[in-house]
Amino acid sequence: MSQFQGATPTWVVGMDEAGYGPNLGPFVMAGVTAKWKGEGDWVEAFKTLSRSAKKKQDSKPLVDDSKKAYAKEGLEGLEKTVASFFNTKETIGAWLNEKSVFGITDLAQESWFKPEENTFLPGIDSDSLHSINSLNFAEAGFESFDCRFFILPSLAFNEVVEKEDNKGAVLSKGMINIFKHFESNFSQNDSIYGYVDKHGGKNNYSATLQNILNKGLILAGQEGLSESNYKSLGADQNWNFKILPKADVNYPMVGLASMLAKWMRERLMKQFNIYWSEQVPGIIPTAGYPGDAPRFYELIKEKAAALGLSKEKVWRSR
């Protein structure tokens, strides 16, 4: 399913999230897409031009499971990868206004959010990285790299979960919104292959994927623990989906989405921690995960209340 042949352009889409488990800070899902005009297997072509976290650092962009990438090269490593693949804006707010499919209005209401902050940290030569990488990938058959973000701060996250009485609803909502917003990139009869990391133990995605189509049906193929795959019938484009565990390791477009989501989550958490360190001097920053989040919330809750921030505006219910 990774090899594409045919007269019409084929698009590859990868999708992953960062921040699903924490109690504090925003949930971020990212989708990336590129047109594949090369020959043979796009996965092998992509891997030839990039490197995994196991490889020695060199000029090739790092594309891997974001946790491995972040552990090895930190925020700078994520930044270099994002700069290499995407034509960004000067500020993080301007780029999110262009690329966020949901949540930018909610994010703008967060006291800690600083949209005027530069997209990349000092020392990242984004123009050079993007120019070199774009040329290398274009020569191999990849064109038109693009991305979208789906971001839910705590209150919006809680509202989605409460409405559906299901935490997994945020994953489904993000996947639907990102795929639908990519439609503007596609022409009629294009073939689209979407790769997504599994949503926990869920195996059945037909009903969720049906919401992506303007017309036609989603037909299920294999559905199980190892993989769930689907194709469309009677839609404007030829959609194919593969949803599986460790997709970010096996399919580098998912790895790229994982790193993009992780990068955005880390940048937003940096802003979150700076804001609360100004409100509660001396507080130790948090990553927002259950092991540390209660400690952090206990220290900020009095100040949060004084600022008019109810618990549901700061703390995720699930």
Percent of the chain with pLDDT over 90: 89
Q: Which residues of 238-268 are buried (b: 16+ CB within 10 A; e: fewer)?
A: bbbbbbbeebbbebbbbbbbbbbbbbbbbbb
Is the pLDDT score of 3 beyond 90? no
- The DSSP string of 133-182 is HHHHHHHHTEEEEEEEEEEE-HHHHHHHHHHHT-TTHHHHHHHHHHHHHH
Closest listed residue to residue 309, CA positions, set 166, 115, 26, 111: 111
pLDDT at 201: 85
How far is the C-alpha of 201 from the C-alpha of 217, rounded, in Å? 24
Over the chain, what is the mean pLDDT? 94
Amino acid at position 39, single letter:
E
Helices 126-140 and 42-49 cross at an angle (nearest 10°) of 140
Is the pLDDT score of 232 beyond 70? yes
First vs last C-alpha separation in the chain = 35
Is the pLDDT score of 242 beyond 50? yes
Q: Could you tell me which residues are beta bridge partners of residue 147?
A: 32
118-161 tens-digit pLDDT:
999 888 999 999 999 999 999 999 999 999 999 999 999 999 99
Cα dihedral sign, 121-123-129-130 = positive
Is the pLDDT score of 9 beyond 80? no
User: Any idea what DSSP says for residue 311?
Assistant: G
Closest listed residue to residue 256, CA positions, set 103, 62, 116: 62
Q: Which helix (H) or strand (E) holds 74?
A: helix 66-85
Is the pLDDT score of 2 beyond 50? no
305-316 tens-digit pLDDT:
999 999 999 999
273-306 tens-digit pLDDT:
999 999 999 999 999 999 999 999 999 999 999 9
Furthest-apart CA pair in the chain: how many Å? 62
At residue 16, the 3 state secondary structure works out as: strand
Report the CATH superfamily, name and number, of domain 10-272: Ribonuclease H-like superfamily/Ribonuclease H (3.30.420.10)
Closest listed residue to residue 229, CA positions, set 207, 256, 203, 200: 203
Q: Could you tell me which residues are beta bridge partners of residue 149?
A: 30, 100
Report yes or no: 149 and 100 within 8 Å, Cβ to Cβ: yes
**pLDDT band at residue 103, thresholds of 50, 70 and 90?**
confident
284, two tokens: 């130790």
Q: Could you tell me which residues are beta bridge partners of residue 11?
A: 35, 192
pLDDT at 253: 97
The domain spans of the chain are: 10-272
159-206 tens-digit pLDDT:
999 999 999 999 999 999 999 999 889 999 899 999 999 988 899 999
- What are the DSSP E strand ranges found in 158-298? 191-197, 217-223, 228-233, 238-244
44-86 tens-digit pLDDT:
999 999 999 998 888 899 999 999 999 999 999 999 999 999 9
Is the pLDDT score of 19 beyond 80? yes
